[in-house]
Structure 1
Amino acid sequence: MESFQISPKADAPFVASQCATPSNAVEGYKASMDGDGLRILEHLPQMIGRGVESLTPAEKELLKWVGIFYRRPTPGKFMMRIRMPNGFARSEQLRAIAELSRRLGNQVVDITTRQQIELRGFTLDSAPEIWEKLRGVDLHSLQTGIDNVRNINGCPLAGLNQHELLDASPLVQDLDRMIVGDHGNPEFTNLPRKFNITVTGCLDNCTHAESQDIALVPAKKAGRIGFNVLVGGKMGSGGFTVASPLNVFVEVFQAAAVVVELTKIYRDYGPREARSRCRFAFLIEEWGLSRLRAELIEHLGHELAFQGRDMRSSAHADHLGVTRQKQEGFRSVGLCIPTGRANPEQLDELARLSEIYGNGEIRLTTAQNTIIPNVPADYVGGLLAEPLLREFSPRPSPFLRGMVACVGTDYCNLAQIETKSRAIELSEALDKKLGETGNPLTIHWSGCPAGCGNHQAADIGFRGFKTKLDGKLVDAVAIYAGGQTGPHAVAGEEIVETVPCDENLPEVVANVIESYRFEKEAREHAALSDPLCAAAATAGLASWHSPRPIPSSSLSTN
């Protein structure tokens, strides 16, 4: 394997050298920057001067450290991922992003499952101007990709939610400052691979905690309020691995240090060989939870309390619609952004509505939706009557409400199928076939095995790939069912191996959904009939499991 160093000529691309062989190509790219990918900024003027056509594989990867992503489907155009901890945004920030998209991009922006916004279709030479505009509204794109701590998730209604044990958003902001800050932090730019963190005080499981490398979830112990610590969750790299309890309870004042030290342990001891095996989950698989806990205690220099009582319910909130806030007389209005895609005019209008009806805040969710909070109760009717809410509905159909889709082949280098428009078309077809009533389902699309659409954490999930039909290569999906996060987290199982994405797909999916709903209702009825389950529910034991398994038949597509 080649290793990579900076060319001694400032205006030349990075070239392969014959120094010590790195464990994989990306490790070599990082070594060329002395382990700090942020140093690519020093060479950006030269790269712009040489032109996009001359960018090397090393340069394309290293640009991700500063949030710039080369996109093969749009030659010469790039994507920028903007860091927005906890999904918190302000009206002036949305306006700035809208203006940049309109003037320098391709007028397409996407809300991601990590509660941030991706700006698309700009040229590399416009990056400095984009950064300057973003800095003016307290935004940046540093360390949003590749081997870094990604945008830190949290409940989008943190501080407002009647169903929260505590407001965890200040901790999210503190962690972002410690790990990334305003100018990037070289201490955390050389992780073995990406690292996902969520910190939530919400009791209704709105952040996919069990899919994260580290998750702090609301807990109580001996009358104290804090978090239980979960570790080793992931999507992709072999599928959804459900995070495991580390048997640690931390109070708020202890939490940041625990997260930082766990991140350092991963940085220092995590695997760095095959990229598909470089996640935190595989270090835990090698070490075991007991060793990880002992290592954490050694790093901290003090003992840790054993885990407390998980205070989460079995519910899953998407925070759509009109929600009463804990602040008397105020409401939050959650709006469904179909598959998270918007244009500059829609962002501008969201900003305007947040100022007229709220206080200028906007919150982004892990389901690619948005919330306008702090709306006086008397103003809700006016907001609901606004024309934009016919596009971004607070009351979407049950098949659109839980629809999530990765970027797909429109812009992603890895995707094998188109996802976003196909997801919307499917939701419309399901509305016609099954009606717009019934309990909402989460329906997630991933365009490849990387799982960016979290397809194994949904009621119904799709993983895209190519297959041959009548000798022609066509788009197809594998269908998964039964996935969820929360106290009873489980990875969705593949139930249909190959379904072409043709006119028959809605019929197949409708059959799957009808079978799934029947099966789910039967399981829920059986659970309610179990006196042990009823006693546990009465006692508030959200994480209690019945020792008697409930039989489950396999789903049928008829």
Structure 2
Amino acid sequence: MPPTSAPAGSAPAAPTDRVGKPRPRRGEGQWALGYREPLNKNEENKKNDDGLNVRQRIIDIYSKAGFDSIDPADLRGRFRWFGLYTQRAPGIDGGKTAVLEPEELDDRYFMLRIRIDGGQLSAAQLRTVAEISTAYGRDTADITDRQNVQLHWVRIEDVPAIWEKLEAVGLSTMEACGDTPRVILGCPLAGIAADEIVDATDQIQQVYDDHIGSPLFSNLPRKFKSSISGCSSYCTNHEINDVAFAGVVGPDGTPGFDLFVGGGLSTNPMFAKRLGTFVRPEQVSEVWAAVCSIFRDYGYRRLRHRARIKFLIKDWGAEKFREVLEKEYLGYALPDGPEPELQEGLRRDHVGVHRQRDGRNYVGFAPKVGRVSGTKLTRVADIAEAHGSDRIRTTADQKLVILDIEDDQVDSIVAALEAEDLEVRPSVFRRQTMACTGIEFCKLAIVETKAQGASLVEELERRLPDFPEPITINLNGCPNSCARIQVADIGLKGQLVTNADGEQVEGFQVHLGGGLGLTAGFGRKVRGLKTTAEELPDYVERVLRRFLETKEDGEAFATWVGRAEDSDLK
């Protein structure tokens, strides 16, 4: 079946029993194997109405009649197809996260996720996002590790006006969340990096134009995360995306992409499987659609926690997945190709001042744990334009980059950004600490993360001002790993812990020694290794000092963790 076929056409005849009557088929709810009846409430909601249809109800009904008019199936389901989640009601502690019903956790305000495919923004687009933040979101804004911007405190009454403003400058919230193809990650330096393998800008745009918002892909088993990048630093983290096209030079010297499928973290982390194919740039959209179609048709729909594509490819293996891709969906074989040439110790965040291929410069800078504001984003747009740039980029590490800065403007733009507490030459802790949204707004969270992360950065800068190693520290408010805790040097998973007085308080389970690239791994968990939030700076300082005292010359933190005694990690 080609990927452009309607999903309804994918079901063969149902099996029968010995007397010829249809026999119920439970299995994993895979459409391609004949089972189309919903096996859980989420699947039932999607069958009842496509999530894309909620847009008109928001415009015509909910924005006019208010929060109380919203159908619960839309509120906690289909709203996500347009980037809307109810945020956590204030005052509910982390111990109640898994106890209360969804309606008890819901606030009457929304988080709104704006998708920024490839992380590409003009100054006008950034200024529009900033204006929406200040007018409708109480001046909140977070840069995510998916290159999106998230706003908070959004009222349903204001959503149509927000969409109108976004769409006027070419932005959207469509399929920013939900069981859909979410934002497509891309290198923020696409088209300008001196060491770029291939510019994937056109491929990202074509996939967006061809497939995003299509009813063919608006009912997937779960979320579907993509990256398409020709960056030689592999900054979009192809190892942990559902589908990833990573830049390589093909057998004949032509640049193209290596194809990876099935990466993801959360409570069952898995690295993507390399299929071993070489994909030419003009094939990317078709191959992307074929992979997404396999997920749609063969993906597991019975249990939500097993519905990501990583579980399918784990069961099938890369060889079978490639065979199905080529024979059932593409109708042709892809050639074998080379794998990416990863480099040791290469940072992926594009922070600092660096030369572009055209002789100008890009300037990457670090907000503290991704937290900014509409006011600050307005200043970034102002600063970019004052220094001759109309191109601002978001990164997959909660950072921002301004392109196209002439040599004689570099000192001025660096000074202007750092005056706004946007560090171009940040400490290792400012540069490499990330935090998810946390309990402040997220209904899944157990602990606070943004303020905790910012405070941790400040404490470590004070205590270890000259720390020389590129340590990554990622804080997550729950087990879902939105902040990629399993692939950080120090990953902190929020949970309630018992303090010295026997009280249940906010704290973290500690993961150590994770990483991507040549040192890819999910790190080490030492039995019982936890810390309270209050003691977190003391713990991190202690383990980093032990690392410096006992590491071998040139030894990375992850390598040291792998051989360290448990006592050195506590």
1:213 alignment partner, one of 230, 239, 242 = 242
1:58 equivalent in structure 2: 73
Task: Say if 2:513 and 2:561, in contact at 8 Å, map to a contact too.
Answer: no
Q: Which residue number in structure 1 is paired with residue 363 of structure 2?
A: 333
Distance in 1 separating the partners of 2:430 and 2:543: 17
Change in Cα spacing, 1:307 to 1:524, as seen in structure 2 (3 Å) is farther
Q: Does 1:68 align with 2:84?
A: yes
Q: Hey, what does 1:419 align to over in structure 2? A: 449
Q: Provide the rounded CA distance (Å) in 1 between the counterparts of 2:290 and 2:57.
A: 32
| Correspondences of 1:174-193 after superposition (within 5 Å) | 174-180=206-212, 184-193=213-222
The one-character-per-residue Cα deviations of 1:84-118 (angstroms, maximum 9, x if unpaired) are 11100111111111111111221101111110111
Partner of 1:30: 46
Aligned mates of 1:519, 1:215 — CA distance in 2? 38
User: Which digits, 9 at most, give the CA deviation of each residue in 1:348-377, with x for residues without a partner?
Assistant: 110011111132110001111101110001
The CA deviation at 1:507 is: 1.5
Structure 1 pair 474–157 and aligned structure 2 pair: CA distance change class (3 A) = same
Could you tell me how far 1:220 is from its partner in structure 2? 2.3
Task: Summarize deviations over 1:201-235 as a string: whole Å, max 9, x none.
Answer: 11113112101011111222322321111111001
Are positions 1:557 and 2:552 aligned together?
no
1:155 to partner: Cα distance: 1.1
Deviation of residue 553 (structure 1)? 3.1
Partner residue of 1:41? 55
For residues 378-402 of structure 1, the C-alpha deviation after alignment (integer angstroms, 9 at most, x for no partner) is 1101112216545001011111110
Is this contact kept in 1: 2:497–2:508, CA < 8 A?
no
* In 2, Cα distance between equivalents of 1:361 and 1:189: 31
Indicate whether 1:140 and 2:140 are aligned.
no
Which residues of 2 match residues 536-547 of structure 1 at below 5 A? Answer: none
Query: Displacement, 1:200?
Result: 1.3
Could you tell me whether the CA contact under 8 Å between 2:85 and 2:111 is conserved in 1? yes
Partner-residue secondary structure (3-state), 1:366 = coil
2:271 pairs with 1:242 = yes
Instruction: Give CA deviations for 1:486-506 in whole Å, capped at 9, x if unaligned.
Output: 244211222364534343221
Structure 2 residues not aligned, in runs of 5+: 1-35, 91-106
- Deviation per CA, 1:29-51, whole angstroms, max 9, x where unpaired? 11110xx2111123223334553
Shift of 1:172: 1.4
Query: 1:169 maps to what in 2?
Result: 201
State whether residues 417 and 424 of structure 2, in contact with CA within 8 Å, keep that contact through their aligned partners in structure 1. Answer: no
Aligned pair in 2 of structure 1 residues 178, 512: CA closer, same or farther (>3 Å)? farther
Partner in structure 1 of residue 481 of structure 2: 451
Instruction: In structure 2, give the amino acid aligned to 1:58.
Output: A
CA distance 1:554–1:307, change in 2 (3 Å) = farther
Give the whole-Å Cα distance in 2 for the aligned partners of 1:175 and 1:80: 23
**CA–CA distance in 2 between the matches of 1:31 and 1:155?**
36
CA deviations over 1:59-94 (Å, ceiling 9, x no partner): 221111111211133521111111111100111111
Aligned-residue identity in percent: 33
Distance in 1, Cα, partners of 2:197 & 2:335? 19
> Residues of 2 paired with 1:526 and 1:513: CA distance?
9
Question: Counterpart of 1:474 in 2: which secondary structure?
Answer: strand
Contact 1:207 1:366 in 2 (8 A): yes
- Whole-angstrom CA distance in 2 between matches of 1:381 and 1:368: 23
Displacement of 1:309: 4.1
Matched, 1:321 2:337: no
Decide whether aligned partners of structure 1 residues 270 and 496 sit closer, same or farther in structure 2, where only a CA change above 3 A counts. same
- Structure 2 distance, partners of 1:373, 1:43, is 40
**Separation (CA, whole Å) in 1 of partners of 2:122 and 2:363:** 15
The amino acid of 2:51's aligned partner reads: G
Give the direction of change, closer, same or farther, for the CA distance of 1:440–1:419 in structure 2 (3 Å limit).
Answer: same
Shift of 1:179: 2.0
Say which of 509, 523, 534 aligns to 2:540.
Answer: 509
- The Cα of 1:526 is off from its aligned counterpart by 13
Partner residue of 1:92?
Answer: 124
What's the TM-score once normalised by structure 1's chain length?
A: 0.87
- Deviation, 1:347, is 0.8
Q: Which residue of 2 aligns with 1:481?
A: 512
CA distance in 2, matches of 1:487, 1:499: 28
Could you tell me which residue of structure 2 aligns to residue 201 of structure 1?
A: 230
Q: 1:318 to 1:273 in 2, by over 3 A?
A: same
Q: Deviations over 1:407-451 (max 9, x none)?
A: 001111101100011011111111222223312321111111110
* Helix, strand or coil at the partner of 1:445: strand
CA–CA distance in structure 2, aligned partners of residues 444 and 42 of structure 1 = 38
Contact 1:481 1:516 survives alignment (8 Å): no
| Corresponding residue number in structure 1 for 2:100 | none
Structure 1 distance, partners of 2:120, 2:445, is: 28
**Which residue number corresponds to residue 540 of structure 1?**
none
The Cα shift of 1:126 comes to 0.7
- Indicate conservation of the 8 Å contact 2:84/2:111, yes or no: yes
- Does structure 1 conserve the Cα–Cα contact (< 8 Å) formed by 2:88 and 2:439? no
**Amino acid in the other structure paired with 2:81:** W
Local SS of the residue matching 2:444: coil
Indicate how the Cα distance of structure 1 residues 454 and 527 shifts in structure 2: closer, same or farther if over 3 A, else same.
closer
| 2:331 maps to 1:301 | yes
Choose from 276, 281, 287 the match for 1:252: 281
Determine if contact 1:67/1:143 at 8 Å carries over to the other structure. Answer: yes
1:27 alignment partner AA? E
The equivalent of 2:113 in structure 1 is 81
Distance 1:211 1:519, change over 3 A: farther
Counterpart in 2 of 1:545? none
SS in 2 for 1:152: strand
Cα distance change, pair 297–422 in 1 and its aligned pair in 2 (3 A):
same
Distance of aligned partners of 1:49 and 1:129 in 2 relative to their CA distance in 1, 3 Å threshold: closer
Could you say what secondary structure the match of 2:530 adopts? strand
- Residue number in structure 2 paired with 1:539: none
Measured in 1, the distance between the counterparts of 2:70 and 2:140 equals 24
Residue 432 of structure 1 aligns with which residue?
Answer: 462
Q: CA RMSD in A?
A: 2.3
TM-superposed deviation, 1:340: 1.1
Which residue of 2 is the match for residue 111 of structure 1? 143
SS of the residue corresponding to residue 464 of structure 1 reads strand
- In 2, Cα distance between equivalents of 1:152 and 1:170: 12
Distance 1:214 1:191 in 2: 14
Residues 100-154 of structure 1: per-residue CA shift (max 9 Å, x gap): 1111221101111110111211110111010001111111100010201111101
Match of 1:366 in 2: 396
Q: Which amino acid in structure 2 is aligned with residue 306 of structure 1?
A: D
Task: Output the TM-score relative to the length of structure 2.
Answer: 0.85
CA positional deviation for 1:550: 12
Amino acid at match of 1:72: R
Q: Return the alpha-carbon distance in structure 2 between the equivalents of residues 351 and 523 of structure 1.
A: 40
Q: Is the 8 A contact 1:63 1:69 kept in 2?
A: yes
Q: Residues of 2 paired with 1:57 and 1:107: CA distance?
A: 28
